[in-house]
Amino acid sequence: MTTIRNQMLVVLMTLASSVSYRLNVRMGGFGRLSKPEPFTRDFTRPMEIPESGIEAAVKVMREGRLFRYSAKTPETSEVANAEKEFSELVQQKYAVGVNSCSSAIMLALMTVGVEAGDEVLTNGFTFTALPSTIMRLGAVPVLVECTSDWTMDLDDLELKASESNSKVLLLSHMRGKIADMDRVEAICEKHGMVLVEDCAHACGIQWDGRQVGNKAKVSAYSCQSDKVINAGEGGFVTTDDDEIAAKLIYLSGAYEKRWSKHLVHPPEEICEQMMMTMPNLSCRMSELTAAVMRPLIRNLEDRVGDYNRRWQSCVDVMEKFAGINCIVPRNHPRVRSVGDHLNFYVTGMTEEQNEVFAKTVRAMGVPVASFVSPVNARYHKNWRKFGAPAYELPKTDNILKFGYDLKMPPYFDDSDFPHVGACIAYSVNEALGGNSMENEVDADWVKSIIEPYSMDAPVEVVDITSPYLAPPKNETMTVMME
């Protein structure tokens, strides 16, 4: 056993290949952190609506044309324009506006043929809307484990795809964490499954320079107030498929020849066919919803840099002062993230110490949410209370047991984010009794934390110098774990 004394370790897990994990152990001077001032800003307020969105909404109300098909022409419809702008943002041919992301998911599943009795593979760690929507169609959710970076466990997906009769994978990019999409595609192709992507938390996030969602036959997005496009409620369903787009237009609430009120629509003959064969589920987006969101669609790309810079300034402080006891999952190297939420888990704590951490950080004004609370809508065991099938997901439970969730409000000042990070780091150390102690971590302990999530793959621990900490003045080391 090699012990590293008087230094801080920050462990970042990234998938180095399909069969091994590489642990970057950042080494730098361990700092003592004095108690920060309580944080007093309000986390509950959503982002404000730009003035141009307010003006557009007032104009809609003055004219009384709140219903999307009341517009004289598609060019004057707020919804039709929002659909066009959103499809351009996500680089897909069609976008259909609906009243929520749950509706978007429901229509997406219907257009790929999900029927009562079908099994649908989906994430064991996601929002309650996914199993709820699957069950709404009379289908059965089959839950897949998650990894330590909070993406779907693709080994478990492969196993359950071979064991189930599912022909559809509903993949949730929960909290913007993106799995290896090349491997997802390969698994779907191997098992004859249609991919549907839930991008509720992934608007603005890119895989290989392109918005996620483009790998799927059809994808769903959210514009609920906690997302990067705030319309209160609302969502989009996107696709490149002409027939699916025509189905979506009529399922969402078009009737008669209302397809012509969409700025971007499939060929007339396909729309006319679906007009007579698709039920009307009346989950349309309203003109008011579209009016307030359109400026946020247009300026999202400009805002991504601010989200990520501020997120990093918070994480830098957490990693500097809490070290290995506070792990922030990173995305795949091919992903451009959007830091609108902070997710992390604490390590090396007993359940009692975890309770001390949560109590301390909340008392300091940082309302971190536990993923395994008895009311959290993202915890699979809570779904059983409304009749969702029970699955044993020990890996997911072990990861989420010490996991936390926090919004990163865009209206905070730049200086607020390091302050939040300091409150979290202080609370971690307080729970461990370490704010006045020197850090001591051994490499075997590092390995013991990671091995449960490595799926028996080799684990490699390599030291690097942190970009924001002074290099260690004494020993450095490389530990190879196989």
What architecture is domain 3-45+301-465? Alpha-Beta Complex (3.90)
Contacts of residue 452, defined as CB under 8 A and 6 or more positions apart, other chains included, come to 395, 398
Strands (DSSP E) contained in 335-431 are: 335-336, 341-346, 369-370, 403-407
Count the neighbouring beta carbons within 10 Å of the beta carbon of residue 392.
11
Distance CA 71, CA 60 (A): 10
DSSP string, 14-42: EE-SSS-EEEEEEEEEPPP-PPPPPP-S-
Model pTM score: 0.84
Q: In this structure, what token pair is assigned to residue 479? A: 């530990």
CA distance 318 to 410: 19
Q: Find the helix or strand (DSSP H, E) in which 424 lies.
A: helix 416-432
Are residues 199 and 173 in contact, defined by beta-carbon separation less than 8 angstroms? yes
| Residue 228 and residue 305 in contact, taking contact as beta carbons nearer than 8 Å | no
User: Do the Cβ atoms of 143 and 161 come closer than 8 Å?
Assistant: no
CB distance 440 to 348 below 8 Å: no
Residue 119 · residue 166 · CB < 8 Å? yes
List the structure tokens of 90: 């996500």
- pLDDT of 443: 52
Query: Where does residue 326 rank: exposed (0-12), middle (13-18), buried (19+ CB within 10 A)?
Result: buried
Fold classified for 52-298: Aspartate Aminotransferase; domain 2 (3.40.640)
Q: Mind listing the pLDDT tens digit of every residue in the chain (482 residues)?
A: 333 333 333 333 333 322 333 333 333 334 567 899 999 999 999 999 999 999 999 999 999 999 999 999 999 999 999 999 999 999 999 999 999 999 999 999 999 999 999 999 999 999 999 999 999 999 999 999 999 999 999 999 999 999 999 999 999 999 999 999 999 999 999 999 999 999 999 999 999 999 999 999 999 999 999 999 999 999 999 999 999 999 999 999 999 999 999 999 999 999 999 999 999 999 999 999 999 999 999 999 999 999 999 999 999 999 999 999 999 999 999 999 999 999 999 999 999 999 999 999 999 999 999 999 999 999 999 999 999 999 999 999 999 999 999 999 999 999 999 999 999 999 999 999 876 434 444 455 445 544 554 445 554 444 433 332 333 333 333 333 33
- Which amino acid is residue 219, in one-letter code? S
> Tell me, what DSSP letter sits at residue 229?
S
> What's the pLDDT at 455?
47
Alpha carbon of 268 to those of 92, 165, 271, 279, 367: distances in Å?
A: 19, 36, 5, 18, 52
Per-residue confidence (pLDDT) for residue 456, from 0 to 100: 53
CA–CA separation, 119 vs 134, rounded Å? 9
Instruction: Report the C-alpha gap between 67 and 282 in whole angstroms.
Output: 11
Alpha helical stretches, state H, 263-299: 268-277, 287-298
- Angle at 241 (CA atoms; ends 106, 151), nearest 5 degrees: 55
Instruction: Determine contact, residues 74/263, Cβ cutoff 8 Å.
Output: yes
**pLDDT at res. 476:** 35
CA 88/CA 109 separation, integer angstroms: 23
> How open is the CA angle 151-341-328, to the nearest 5 degrees?
60
pLDDT at position 34 is 85
The H or E element that residue 481 is part of is: none
pLDDT of residue 354: 96
Domain with CATH 3.40.640.10 in the chain: 52-298
What CA–CA distance (Å, rounded) separates 423 from 94?
A: 44
Half-sphere exposure of 230 (CA within 13 A, CB side): 14
pLDDT digits (tens, 9 = 90+) for 424-458: 999 999 999 876 434 444 455 445 544 554 445 55
- Specify the domain boundaries for CATH 3.90.1150.10 within the chain: 3-45+301-465
Please state, in angstroms and rounded to a whole number, the distance separating the CA atoms of residues 227 and 241: 26
- DSSP state, residue 376: -
User: What is the C-alpha separation between 177 and 378, in angstroms, rounded?
Assistant: 14
